[in-house]
Amino acid sequence: MSEELELGEKARQIYILLVAEGRPMSVRDIQARLSLSSPSVAHYHLKKLVKMGLLAKDKNGHYYVRRLVKIGVLRNFLFIGRYAIPKYIFYSVFFLSLLISCAIVFSGTSDLGLFFLTLASLAIAFFSWLHEALRLIRRIPRG
């Protein structure tokens, strides 16, 4: 996407923060949340994002997301309303449901080796996808 090519790291962080917050934020709030050296640094990048049409400024001087583009870490999220859900959560839930189903269906089996191998495999898949989802969540800038 051309927006990503034109965005520097700080501008990308600001954009991701505003998407994750889901509410308008002031220049000073953004500067403080991202530990930028000064409000003018935040303002410089905010102006670039506004010029690109990604952000807009409300009547109180707060910035908000005008157009959602999936850049950086945002590519791995599904947006439902104002909620950002890591795509990996769906894989995790799928393997958890398989794990529970297999535990119920195969609980009466006489082949305990196959039973435990199946459950262990599904548990590993579940926890792997859950771990990836949590890693994505931690990459979103927080205050």
For residue 2, pLDDT beyond 60? no
Instruction: Report the pLDDT value the prediction gives residue 141, as an integer from 0 to 100.
Output: 65
Distance of alpha carbon 62 from the chain centroid: 22
The reply to whether 8 and 26 lie within a common domain is: yes
CB 71 within 8 A of CB 15: yes
Confidence grade of residue 6 (pLDDT, cut at 50, 70, 90):
low
The reply to whether 113 and 80 lie within a common domain is: yes
Considering its fold, how many domains does the chain have in total? 2
Q: Which of 65, 84, 100 is the last residue of a domain?
A: 65
Confidence grade of residue 4 (pLDDT, cut at 50, 70, 90):
very low
- Condensed to tens digits (0 to 9), the pLDDT of residues 64-99 reads 999 888 887 788 888 877 677 899 999 999 999 999
The reply to whether 28 and 49 lie within a common domain is: yes
User: CA dihedral defined by 46, 49, 50, 56, rounded to 10 degrees?
Assistant: -80
